[in-house]
Structure 1
Amino acid sequence: MTTLENRPGTALLVIDLQVGVVAEAYERDDVVARVAGLVERARASGTPVVWVQHSSEEFPLGSPTWQIVPEVAVGPGDPVVHKRYGDAFEDTDLEDVLAGHDVGRLVVCGAQTDACVRSTVHGAFTRGYDVTLVQDAHTTEDLSAWGAPSPADVIAHTNLYWGFQEAPGRTAQTASAAEVALT
């Protein structure tokens, strides 16, 4: 029940599933496999798959670390949004891409939980989108040496609080990769 008018569609938003971003990610292979399954299901149902790629000094545009992981392929008709900020809506064409597909609901997966995933789900929600975070298809690296909780705790906490977000006319929820609705 998005607040965006005439936007009944759903899209799978895959955030920063890039070689360098997930190189040291918690449960990397399991998360990548679940995302691959979501991509396959989305394509089979006709749900758009929208890819987000982050570039920075650490992940220069076009570099090996910037590439999408080899286990999952961007499809010929899949939109790819390039970003430089945590929130994938900031200074990108993501809103135009989603509007072009009449999308008012996002199913979100990818990396990193405590950075770009969190920023983007909040950015989408404040812009009027319904947002479902796939609770077992997002990950982060271990930043506990710098005072962060363990990756497992970061993921669990993000899933916990996202399930309790509220705003007029919008829904925020979590679901496992196996149970999430992609239409």
Structure 2
Amino acid sequence: MQSFIIVVGAALIGLIAYTVWGMIRLQTATSGAVIDRAGRPGEALVIIDVQQDFTSEKTYPKQAVEAALARINALAAKAHGQGMPVINVRHVFKGPYVNFLVRLMSGGRGGARSSGLGTDPRLQLEPTAEFVKHRGDAFSNPALDRWLDAQHIGKLVIVGLDGNACVKSTADGALNRGYQVEIIEPAVLSYSAPSWDKQKTRLATRGAAFAA
């Protein structure tokens, strides 16, 4: 009996450790080859995770969501007018265990079987390119980096959600690769203003710029 309890206890500890590791990995920024910005004069607008699953819940005040969407719409329209690529990034959680946890903790928002994985229809968006990611950092999908390389993009203007999660992870992934990064604050949603303030300070020390 004692051996059984020890085995069960060890299994539970292992499962907890695996879960914690997985959660940390989800938001850990990736690294990659450093780009030569001298040969990449272009810039692109990158919209992160503005999906029905994430904008329809109660994480953000309704007015904040509508204001951010309006700002993103204006930025996208301006980008199209200037011939600047608009990249839409969507998140889908991957893996049976991860999706089980997502169903357990958040009703399946962002899960592989969710009906809310599409871009929020209030976003009047005709993206130049679209990428799906399974981790916080959009660069976890290597197709993004390849596309940016082919388009000679060296600067990313980042908007979307959440400032404390996928926005900051994507910004870190871009900075790790030597991209110039600008984050448009009014076009970013964050579940915690104090945490977002800390992330902004940290990202600024890494070289990210912030604009209204």
Q: State percent identity of aligned pairs.
A: 28
Q: Return the match for 1:54 from 66, 91, 94.
A: 91
Greater alpha carbon shift after TM alignment, 21-30 vs 86-95: 21-30
TM-score scaled to structure 2, two decimals? Answer: 0.69
CA shift for structure 1 position 164:
2.9
State how far apart, in whole Å, the 2-side matches of 1:152 and 1:122 are.
19
Counterpart of 1:160 in structure 2 is 201
- 1:72-151 to structure 2, matched below 5 A, reads 72-75=123-126, 78-141=128-191, 151=192
**Secondary structure at 1:162's aligned position in 2?**
helix
Matched residue type, 1:55: V
Say how many residue pairs are matched: 160
Asked whether the equivalents of residues 45 and 85 of structure 2 are also in contact (C-alpha less than 8 Å), the reply is: yes
State how far apart, in whole Å, the 2-side matches of 1:10 and 1:136 are.
19
State how far apart, in whole Å, the 2-side matches of 1:62 and 1:40 are.
31
TM-score scaled to structure 1, two decimals? Answer: 0.80
5+ long unaligned stretches in structure 2: 1-34, 94-98, 100-107
CA shift for structure 1 position 163:
2.7
- Asked whether 1:41 is paired with 2:78, we answer yes
Structure with greater Cα Rg:
2
What root-mean-square deviation, in Å, do the aligned CA atoms of Structure 1 and Structure 2 show?
1.9
Higher strand residue share:
1
5+ long unaligned stretches in structure 1: 142-150, 167-171, 177-183
Q: 1:108 to 1:68 in 2, by over 3 A?
A: same
Higher helix residue share:
2
Asked whether the equivalents of residues 52 and 88 of structure 1 are also in contact (C-alpha less than 8 Å), the reply is: yes
**Secondary structure at 1:154's aligned position in 2?**
helix
Q: 1:20-67 deviations in whole A, cap 9, x for unaligned?
A: 122232411111111111111111111000010000233245743211
